[in-house]
Structure 1
């Protein structure tokens, strides 16, 4: 029997070194592995290269690491909602590899599936393929590091000739993910929107650490209900169902007159 449970979030991330690459699940603030992020912050790990859809907000999610200047590079598809991110990027303190959202998802999945690279039409005819996107500014308005030109090739699919750009799969040193339920073997079930990038991030990590709200015994999860098989998960820690879950923006309609 393979019991992958660890005692705490601190134990789960204790061996993540400075300079590591980490794939982190979540979309906005939905499905963020907050206990693992906070444990990583507490132990002082720095110079991180993080792959995640976005970087949280100024005081939550990956924004906690960013505020303490623990992140050297972000590979993301969305960089709004975080003023500190904007400031560090424009001042040349943070490197950014901006990637189309679907492409980022497939790069993570491909890396986890052992696929070195793939061709996609997304980005053809733009700086995504042609290069020149700023990855790091020099702090004076100039570009210190620009994205490279990528290989393109024409394929005929379904009778239609079209140009495609080559994108490489992502394999990270570690992955940090959040799930609603998991068993001691690492099989995971995600809740609704929190399923987002979490399975893909988990697949891409050489070592995947999962925090779960509820930990159950092997066999208690119906095999048909498993979203991510335990083969991709190496450590699992229970954080409970009472964890804080924030919303980036809440819009409440005014009550109808006379209501």
Structure 2
């Protein structure tokens, strides 16, 4: 296909679209090498820079990968697993991968609590504004803890921490909720499921292309009507889909009532 007659701004996307379609149709299989840059230049009638930009689009969307000194190859996509997600009265979700066992393990020691702000895209969903205490953790699976598969971040309003300083020494969301529950006032929770694009560092941490969306679960905990904790869990949509048992009642799990 000769793209030389197209306007310059259309050549990159047109070339990427053709190559993606050929991969989908099986013309190039997993781990097959794509033609070289000179071959693609000749085939599409475009300059080297156009070829490189088109291949970059395919890399970002997870279609191909580059091997230094060897060329560009069709990327083998990971097997997609199902997370059966259940929530416990204190702590985060219990994820059962493909209905097996709960599998998350920290890859490295979790970060210490720091001070920061809730990202703007989470502010509306959490109702949190201003300064918060932040805790982060990267998790893998117990069969191969070297593979990072889930990121989580917990946010606690500094006003809550100031009233209960022990929270800032808690080792993650489970310990935070246990301490909040001990104050006497009941906790309630709500969940928001969604998706978003990863930041560059998140894509690198998860080993997923920058163009692959993340599946997001946001848990918001309230006490006396005020948000006292929010935790965001994200996984790659290329690796996981999330489901839950439709007949599961919060009372069966020992959870506080949802708001």
Q: Provide the TM-score with structure 2 as the length reference.
A: 0.23
Max Rg structure: 2
Q: Relative to total residues, which structure has the larger helix share, 1 or 2?
A: 2
Q: Provide the TM-score with structure 1 as the length reference.
A: 0.23
